[in-house]
Amino acid sequence: MKLSELTAHELLDLLKAKKETADSIFSSVKNVIDATEAKINAYAHISDKPIQSKNSSQKFQIPIAIKDNICIKDYPTTCSSHILKDFKPPYNATVVDKLLNSGALITGHANMDEFAFGSSTETSFFGPTKNPWNLNCVPGGSSGGSAAAVGAHEAIWALGSDTGGSIRQPASFCGVVGLKPTYGRVSRYGLIAFASSLDQIGPLTKDVEDSALLLNLIAGHDKLDSTSANIPVPDYTKSLTGDIKNLKIGIPKEYFIEGIDPEIKESILQAIEVLKKQGACFEEISLPHTEYAVATYYILATAEASSNLSRFDGVQYGLRCHPKDKRRTSLIDMYEETRHQGFGQEAKRRIMLGTYSLSSGYYDAYYLRAQKVRTLIKNDFNEAFKEFDAILTPTSPTTAFKIGEKASDPLSMYLSDIYTISANLAGIPALSLPCGFSKEGLPIGLQIMAKPFDEEMIFKIAHSYEQNTEWHKKKVAL
């Protein structure tokens, strides 16, 4: 097996035993990038040499891809948008500093939906990323580049960001493990914001142990982020015991309604049987406000996006365009032309939707009401976690769809995140891991959710399932 196909913990064992070097591991990954990137398009920006720190501990010298909305100092960070063309931040995101200090070897910036607006990585200025399991299908989004890079062995592990499922849904589509930590568990400093009350950085990895390892590296309080939680960080690898006896896991009936792919439903039911054999107890529950999650999310997320993206005006950084019409010489004319040329269609759509819901006369009817419904959704989870240790659901109602299939139908695209959005609205942790494959050979994802700051519970259940199945061991053949 090639070094690029191994997990991070397997490679760390080889490094510790001095059977391999950081250079040989990076070279193996770089060879895969050179051979497959033209087919996958997992990266927005690739570094020929690893981005690394000369003053690091050298403990975790593992190649990692970073989503293109997480700042790397003096390196192109563009959110896969034309409007941030050639932008190079003067600072690192906190998570990047933590990784570099641990010895990480950054391979480059992974492709993504423009400003994280999408569920398929088709809205990128750099073109769509392809699903490594089927090049005619999307990898999911918006962290599709990160998920595809890990799935195609173009990175050992990766960082993504999750606003409404943007780590978990592509993890499901690409057959990898994706974790959205609790809101506040990982610093957002240096993450170019989409929706500030929903965004969370998290790991995409080849297995659950790698996910726990990577969360160990990036979690923790950060005084540079006012939303960062000042709560002690445990060693998540210690939760990988395999012991889940007598754990109570809820199965929300609202997640198994009409519209779910029968193959996905069957895979989830089989996963439940695996966990039952390990001693877990299951019971059907209700999360009654689930049906309002998508509408609530798209009001709140677009409103916050409208506010956050107002800074991109062609003045301070990024693209600047002047109208061809010489009569249009005002500052407003420059703003309009820059945004017209710089933003893609989906970005424009979301900015307009958000601006509308925040406008005078509509704020109470839309934004304020959505905030109240968000509280109801959060309360549903609070009540459930009074009795249950975790909640188990599908990650997505379908497997990866064809490229272009939903590009002209925004509502259908938005519904791709129907099972993942609620965790962001409630601020709770959630993880997706492989639990099967469709008849077409496309991965299926299982989602596990737990109470705030109880990522240990998620890892415990996910690792137990993984150790009793073989799905995570399947490799892409490119």
- Is the pTM of the predicted complex or chain greater than 0.85? yes
| Per-residue confidence (pLDDT) for residue 362, from 0 to 100 | 86
pLDDT in tens, 284-298: 999 999 999 999 999
Domain boundaries, the chain: 1-478
Sign of the torsion angle spanned by Cα atoms 294, 299, 303, 306: positive
Cα angle vertex 331, ends 326, 333, to 5°?
A: 50
3-state DSSP helix/strand/coil % of the chain, to nearest 5: 40, 15, 45
CATH of domain 1-478: 3.90.1300.10
User: Residue 410 pLDDT > 80, yes or no?
Assistant: no
User: Residue 316 pLDDT > 90, yes or no?
Assistant: no
Where residue 198 falls among pLDDT bands split at 50, 70, 90? very high
- Rounded CA separation 237/205 (Å): 14
Distance, first Cα to last Cα, the chain: 14
Sign of the torsion angle spanned by Cα atoms 268, 422, 396, 261: positive
pLDDT in tens, 106-163: 999 999 999 999 999 999 999 999 999 999 999 999 999 999 999 999 999 999 999 9
According to DSSP, residue 92 is labeled -
Where residue 464 falls among pLDDT bands split at 50, 70, 90? very high
pLDDT in tens, 174-189: 999 999 999 999 999 9
Residue bearing tokens 């927005």: 44
Question: Catalytic residue positions?
Answer: 67, 142, 166
Q: Strand 390-394 to strand 157-162: parallel, antiparallel, or no bridges (unpaired)?
A: unpaired
What is the percentage of the chain residues whose pLDDT exceeds 90? 90
User: Residue 41 pLDDT > 90, yes or no?
Assistant: yes
* Mean pLDDT within 449-471: 98
| Per-residue confidence (pLDDT) for residue 294, from 0 to 100 | 94
